Structure 1
Amino acid sequence: MGVGEHASGPGHVPVMLGRVLELLAPAVAAAATRDPGRDPVYVDATLGMGGHAEAMLKAHPSLRLVGLDRDTTALERSARRLAPFGDRVRLEHAVYDEIPSVLRRLGLPAADAVLFDLGVSSPQLDEADRGFAYSYDAPLDMRMDRTQGPTAAEVVNGYPPAALARILREYGEERFAQRIASAIVREREREPLESTRRLADLVRASIPAATRRTGGNPAKRTFQALRIEVNGELDVWRRALPAALGVLPVGGRAAVLSYHSLEDRVTKQVLAAEAADSTPPDLPVPLPEHEPRFRLLTRGAELPSDEETTTNPRAGSARLRAAERVREAT
């Protein structure tokens, strides 16, 4: 469910679409060369509205898509969008750390290209009843998969003060985490917090007036922190990226679009570790078992163009990283 499908017009234009296609195209070509009798497989691990997936299917007529999303509403919408591609498309209600098990269930030995477009999707933000946005008054939900898991209301009304402060500090990078957590506890003792508007107003009132005048809506960091906690996003991401890299054959590629520093930090660490030469420093030449299994395809994190962020402001925080498998796992 990526923020990457945010746009002002209909269709939700995906973020950095041209660059994503450019990065993943060699993996599709490598698959055709490596195994001419098998259709290349592309896993869109965060399908959202299906924008990246549609573009990949159009660009590569032999490509087969496995699209994952934990949001059943997103799956229904993307199914309609991708219907013209018929049996080249297989959509699965799953979280992205389940890629290996989904592929096994479908009888697929590998994925040649994988894309993660992380974060909350445009419909989730724009539909008030999902409870992701502080700009609407709605029930405090924030679940990407509304079939399971605790809601944001259960977190703010049930977590101990110290746990609330930790979440706000770690996941929201909120300077005033303790003040906000204390205010939440006082308010919920008077009456449970159930709406986005009430929580946003409480956060605003908890932050010093001088801070409220800059940096956008002061509730943004609290809402981000709660969303990450409700959906277990960082814990899932720490499992998901290594799992996805593990299903790539030599020549296979993975690309990641992230939208806040916590996600991008995990991405950077995992890819750097996989691309590192682990040869002991006292050896004169690398041993095969110590050679890197991946090579980085981006120099640091690539950013969207100024033109793109002008037409699609929600893309402004996007960071793109990618890697290619160059050696089989030992």
Structure 2
Amino acid sequence: MEFVHKSVLLGESIDWLITDRDGIYVDCTMGGAGHSKGFAMQLGERGTLVAIDQDDDAITAASERLQGMPCKIKIAKSNFKDFGEVLDGFGIEQIDGIFFDMGVSSYQLDTPERGFSYMNDGPLDMRMDKSGRKDAYYIVNHYKEDELAEMIYRYGEERWSRRIAQFIVSERAAAPIETTFELVNVIKKAIPKGARQDGPHPAKRTFQAIRIEVNDELNILEKVVTQAVERLKSGGRIGVITFHSLEDRIVKQTLAQLAKGCICPPQLPICVCGRTPLVKKTGNIVPSDAEIEANPRSRSARLRYAIKR
């Protein structure tokens, strides 16, 4: 299956991030190179794009799509949390811009054997990096009931988390839950019929929670955003596309903290913390109505941004 992915907020991301044709830019979540190619096409021959992804299929597809770009291209297989090590390996200290797209690619969702989608039947997997040891099958069939309930509630914001966990544990006692559709059926049994009639697909929140757990997506986000800002040159830009409230809240709060100056208690007559703001001009952009109509998966997307002081 060809690696196809429709990039969200593409024009807005390019317009925000790229300010110097000769600059060094980092796409920490290259995927199928939708954003990466857009960034690269705005750079000149002295510019550099570092593109990072942990998915072998993405790297294969993106490597082809980034051939013939006007700038220097450096591709690395790594998790976005390790972008600093990638830059160190290339001998790069400071950068002009850094970008993260936290969404799952259309290719991953639409490829049943990757196990990301509740709309396609496939093995319970959900690993972004297929060499990773922990997959969705392990979580569903080996986590304790209270661990499942906590994970589904915390990462999926699912009100029926305890009931879903109970049903999963009961079902797997008879036989392991092996496929995405088997899990979907368990979730549908767990959620009362009346609660399933409105809102998103009944399995959406649980699948989101398991995917986040498999790939450790949220635990590293605050630290990564802070490290990314630290690697920027003065005036450098960061952009982060989020797709659900949990990750959006983390990015928003982290950038807000980095924009703060003194954090001393108000009763102190003078500042003793010596803290100065690291970023300015924080804000966000959401997709246009036209983009949402053309690509419904973009509906929940939000581009958070800031400039290094």
> So what's the TM-score if we normalise by structure 1?
0.88
Among 64, 85, 103, the residue aligned to 2:48? 64
Deviation of 1:70 after TM superposition, in Å, equals 1.1
Q: Deviations over 1:281-324 (max 9, x none)?
A: 467898994331111342xx321000110001110110111011
Q: Deviations over 1:136-184 (max 9, x none)?
A: 1100000000012211010010001000000000000000000000000
Within the alignment, does 1:44 sit opposite 2:27 as a pair? yes
Contact 2:49 2:71 in 1 (8 A): no
Identify the structure with bigger relative contact order (alpha carbons < 8 Å, sequence gap 6+).
1
Cα distance in 2 for partners of 1:86, 1:101 equals 25
Contact 2:4 2:106 in 1 (8 A): no
Partner of 1:306: 289
Point out the more displaced range, 161-170 or 278-287. 278-287
The structure-2 alpha-carbon separation of the partners of 1:136 and 1:250, relative to structure 1 and needing over 3 Å to count, comes to same
The structure-2 alpha-carbon separation of the partners of 1:11 and 1:122, relative to structure 1 and needing over 3 Å to count, comes to closer
Within the alignment, does 1:12 sit opposite 2:16 as a pair? no
Cα distance in 1 for partners of 2:281, 2:154 equals 28
Cα distance in 2 for partners of 1:214, 1:272 equals 35
The structure-2 alpha-carbon separation of the partners of 1:119 and 1:14, relative to structure 1 and needing over 3 Å to count, comes to closer
CA RMSD of aligned residues (A): 1.9
Segments of structure 1 that go 5 or more residues without pairing to the other structure are: 1-9, 30-38
Q: Match of 1:14, as an amino acid?
A: S
Cα distance in 2 for partners of 1:240, 1:290 equals 20
Cα distance in 2 for partners of 1:259, 1:106 equals 30
Cα distance in 2 for partners of 1:284, 1:13 equals 54
Deviation of 1:63 after TM superposition, in Å, equals 2.2
Identify, as 1 or 2, the structure richer in strand: 2
Within the alignment, does 1:169 sit opposite 2:162 as a pair? no
How do 1:1-330 and structure 2 match up within 5 A? 12-26=5-19, 28=20, 39-61=22-44, 62-85=46-69, 88-278=72-262, 280=264, 281=266, 289-298=274-283, 301-326=284-309
Identical aligned residues as a percent: 39
Cα distance in 2 for partners of 1:25, 1:106 equals 20
Q: Match of 2:93, as an amino acid?
A: P
The structure-2 alpha-carbon separation of the partners of 1:240 and 1:133, relative to structure 1 and needing over 3 Å to count, comes to same
Cα distance in 2 for partners of 1:112, 1:297 equals 17
Q: Match of 1:319, as an amino acid?
A: R
> So what's the TM-score if we normalise by structure 2?
0.94
Identify, as 1 or 2, the structure richer in helix: 1
Segments of structure 2 that go 5 or more residues without pairing to the other structure are: none
Q: List 4+ stretches of structure 1 deviating above 4 A.
A: 282-288
Cα distance in 2 for partners of 1:188, 1:140 equals 13
Aligned residues: 305
Q: Match of 2:149, as an amino acid?
A: A
